[in-house]
């Protein structure tokens, strides 16, 4: 993962993406005006609905040219 940046703000789930090959959920989300997706088979995807609409701190990086959520903490 490249170009990692820290963001703080309100988490908004924009849409649910198709599940991964192994059936794990994926999301497109927005934090502090920055749009990103969850990694394939990431455990962060399971906790995102619990944090929707709440303020969080996150690290977003570039993975294969796509902004991707790397880490997430409640604020």
Per-residue pLDDT in tens (0 to 9) along the chain, 75 residues: 899 999 999 999 999 999 999 999 999 999 989 999 999 999 889 999 999 999 999 999 999 999 999 999 998
Homologous superfamily of 2-74: Nucleic acid-binding proteins (2.40.50.140)
Burial 49-66 (b: 16+ CB within 10 A, else e): eebeeeebbbebbebeee
Number of other CB atoms surrounding residue 4 within 10 Å: 12
pTM of the predicted protein model: 0.88
């Amino acid at each position: 993962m490249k170009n990692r940046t820290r963001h703080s703000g309100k988490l908004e789930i924009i849409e649910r993406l198709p599940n991964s090959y192994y059936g794990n959920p994926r999301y497109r989300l927005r934090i502090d005006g920055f749009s990103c997706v969850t990694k394939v088979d990431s455990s962060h995807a399971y906790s995102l609905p619990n944090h929707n609409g709440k303020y969080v701190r996150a690290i977003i990086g570039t993975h294969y040219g796509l902004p991707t959520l790397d880490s997430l903490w409640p604020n």
